[in-house]
């Protein structure tokens, strides 16, 4: 209903949500829209599909403590120019961030993804935070670029025991340090053809399913101290600096 719209002023739903959880029924379409100022969608439940595909957020974008019940699109050329927050948000349906660009800091800490989530070929230019994030089913980060540091500490992947999912970091580039300490990977996780250009930390990490680091490159220190492996492949792996497995 807001397709190709331009919002020149601040867009704020928070004042309505402060009186109680705001519930929006039906699909919402912001495709190809431009938000020139700050956006506040916090503490809202949306029961239909939400489409922000090809949209541009020029100011701060706050989506914290929301519940998205349906399919959610932030894909294609969606661009966040400033900080974007999804802290404590729940996505009950599939989520698509493929090819999105995050120019500022992005914070997905303590988010719950109940269905698959797609960050394939997304670009994170600012710091990226996924601390304590829960990925119930498949998580795609294939071809994703993290230009700044990324923090997945205490995240958990493939929690749904009935789902035959996986975690895909193939062809991903970490240009700054990557933090995966205290992460739990419950099923298959792939880091094949992945580049770690700075330090990579996998301290106290649990790899409960198959893990594949084939043809990956660690240019900085790689620390797997106190981590546990079930089935691991390190074929054609390159360590250019210190590698710790104690």
In degrees to the nearest 10, what's the CA dihedral of 167, 171, 177, 181? 20
Measured CA to CA in angstroms, residue 91 lies from 13, 50, 225 at distances of: 19, 11, 33
**What is the DSSP track for 79-107?**
EE-S-EE-TT-EE-S-EE-TT-EE-S-EE
The answer to whether 122 touches 99, Cβ cutoff 8 Å, is: yes
The answer to whether 169 touches 196, Cβ cutoff 8 Å, is: no
Count Cβ atoms below 10 Å from residue 181 Cβ, excluding itself.
18
In tens digits, the chain (246 residues) has pLDDT values of 788 999 999 998 776 655 557 888 999 999 999 999 999 998 899 999 999 999 999 999 999 999 999 999 999 999 999 999 999 999 999 999 999 999 999 999 999 999 999 999 999 999 999 999 999 999 999 999 999 999 999 999 999 988 889 999 999 999 999 999 999 999 999 999 999 999 999 999 999 999 999 999 999 999 999 999 999 999 999 999 999 998
Q: Return all residues near 77 (Cβ < 8 A) that are at least 6 apart.
A: 54, 99, 100, 101
pLDDT at position 23 is 87
- Phi, psi for residue 62 in degrees, rounded to 5: -115, 115
Max intra-chain CA distance, the chain: 57
Q: Return all residues near 6 (Cβ < 8 A) that are at least 6 apart.
A: 33, 34, 36
Count Cβ atoms below 10 Å from residue 168 Cβ, excluding itself.
22
Closest CA to 73 of 104, 118, 35, 36: 118
Measured CA to CA in angstroms, residue 5 lies from 30, 102, 181, 234 at distances of: 7, 21, 42, 49
Q: What is the pTM of this model?
A: 0.95
Q: How far apart are CA 27 and CA 19, in angstroms?
A: 23
């Amino acid at each position: 209903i807001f397709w190709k719209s331009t919002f020149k002023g601040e867009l704020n739903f928070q004042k309505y949500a402060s009186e109680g959880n705001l519930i929006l029924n039906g699909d919402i379409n912001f495709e190809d829209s431009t938000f020139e100022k700050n956006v506040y969608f916090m503490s809202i439940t949306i029961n239909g599909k939400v489409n922000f595909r090809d949209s541009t957020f020029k100011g701060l974008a706050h989506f914290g403590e929301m519940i998205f019940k349906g399919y959610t699109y932030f894909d294609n050329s969606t661009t966040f120019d400033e900080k974007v927050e999804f802290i404590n948000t729940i996505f009950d349906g599939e989520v698509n961030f493929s090819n999105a660009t995050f120019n500022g800091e992005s914070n997905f800490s303590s988010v719950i993804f109940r269905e698959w989530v797609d960050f394939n070929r997304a670009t994170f230019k600012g710091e990226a935070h996924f601390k304590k994030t829960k990925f119930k089913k498949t998580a795609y980060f294939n071809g994703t670029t993290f230009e700044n540091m990324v923090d997945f500490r205490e995240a958990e992947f493939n929690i749904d025991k009935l789902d035959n999912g996986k975690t895909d970091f193939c062809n991903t580039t970490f240009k700054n340090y990557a933090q995966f300490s205290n992460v739990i990977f419950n099923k298959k996780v792939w880091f094949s053809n992945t580049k770690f250009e700075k330090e990579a930390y996998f301290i106290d990490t649990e790899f409960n399913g198959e893990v594949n680091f084939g043809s990956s490159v660690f240019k900085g220190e790689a620390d797997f101290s106190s981590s546990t492996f079930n089935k691991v492949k390190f074929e054609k792996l390159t360590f250019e600096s210190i590698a710790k497995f104690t």
